[in-house]
Amino acid sequence: MTTEMDWRTQVGRSWAQNYVLTDRSFAGLTQRLLERAAPLVGTSVLDVGCGAGELSLALGRQHAGAQVLGVDVSHDLVEVAKERGNDLANVRFFEADAGSWHDPAFAADLIVSRHGVMFFADPTAAFANIRAGAAAGARLLFSCFRSPGENAWATGLAELLGLPPARDPRAPGPFAFAEPAHVEGILAAAGWHDMGFEAVDFAYVCGTGEDPVEDALGLFRRIGPAAPYLRSLEGQAKQDAEARIGEWLERHRSGNVIAMAAAAWLVSARKD
C-alpha cells in the first residue's frame, strides 16, 4: 500500500531525485499516452499526479495553444516540475491533491495522468471531484498497471526477495487499478461514462550505459517494490540481496540495456 503521506514524504522525495530514471523507464508508455491524447487536447489540460512534469511538459510543447496545469501532492516533485518547465508559458504546476482540489477558474476539457491515479484513498470521491471541476464533455485519459503477473520487473523482484503479495490488491498502490471491472465501477459511480480500456505493452527500461546492471540496481534501491525492503537491510543481508538482484538483472541484459516486460491499461472516459 502506498499512501498520500508516502508521496508527500519519502516516496515523493525519491522520485523527485530520480526523475530522469523514472521518465526513462516509462518512455514507451508516455509516447502512447501522448499519441492518444493528441486528438483530445482542446484549450485546457489537467495532469493529475503530474510527478516531475514529463507528460505536462510534452503536452505543453506539442499544443502551444492549450493551457496545461499539473498537480501533485509531492512538494519535491512539483518543485522539480516547475524548474523543468520554467521556459514554457502555457504550463503551470501546483501542489495539490487532485482528489479534493478545485479551481473555478480552470475547467479542463482533458484530464490526463501517467500512473498518478492509483493512490487515492477514496478513488470514487476523487474522480467525482475531478469530474465536477471539468468542462462539459471533458475527456479523461490515464494509464495504470495491469496485473503484477504481466509486469516482469515487479514480479521478478518480489519472487527473488520473497516479498509477500499485497494484503488487499485494491488498496492504494501501483496495481490498485489492475482489474478493469473494478476501475469501471469506480468511474461509473463517480459519474463518468463511455469507459474504454486499451492494453499497452511496453519496455520498462531499468538500466543503460557501460554498467547497466549497476545502473538498474541503483534504480531499484531507490524506486519500486524492492526499495523499502533494501533500506531495511544491513550488512551481509543487504549485500546478499543486492547480489541476487544483480544476477537476476544480468540475465535480462541485452548489450548495454536492461529492459523488462511491462503492461498497462490506457483508460478513457467522458463527462456528459
pLDDT in tens, 160-196: 888 888 778 899 999 999 999 999 999 999 999 999 9
Of 82, 59, 63, the residue nearest 72 (C-alpha): 82
Is pLDDT of 210 > 80? yes
Give the pLDDT of residue 226: 83
Structural domains present in the chain: 4-147+168-203+264-270 (3.40.50.150)
Instruction: Indicate whether 245 pLDDT > 90.
Output: yes
pLDDT given for residue 1 in this prediction? 55
Q: Positive or negative, the Cα torsion across 57, 63, 141, 31?
A: negative
The Cα–Cα gap between 21 and 153 comes to 14
Q: What is the pLDDT of residues 97-154, one digit of tens each?
A: 999 998 999 999 999 999 999 999 999 999 999 999 999 999 999 999 999 999 988 8
Predicted TM-score (pTM) of this structure: 0.94
Spatial distance between the Cα atoms of 212 and 206, rounded to a whole number of angstroms: 8
Tell me the three state secondary structure of residue 242.
helix
Condensed to tens digits (0 to 9), the pLDDT of residues 53-109 reads: 999 999 999 999 999 999 999 999 999 999 999 999 999 999 999 999 989 999 999
* Nine-digit cell string for 123: 478513488
Per-residue pLDDT band for 12 (boundaries 50, 70, 90) equals confident
Using CA atoms, how far apart are residues 198 and 174, in angstroms rounded to an integer?
A: 18
pLDDT at 129: 98
- pLDDT above 70 covers a percentage of the chain that reads 99
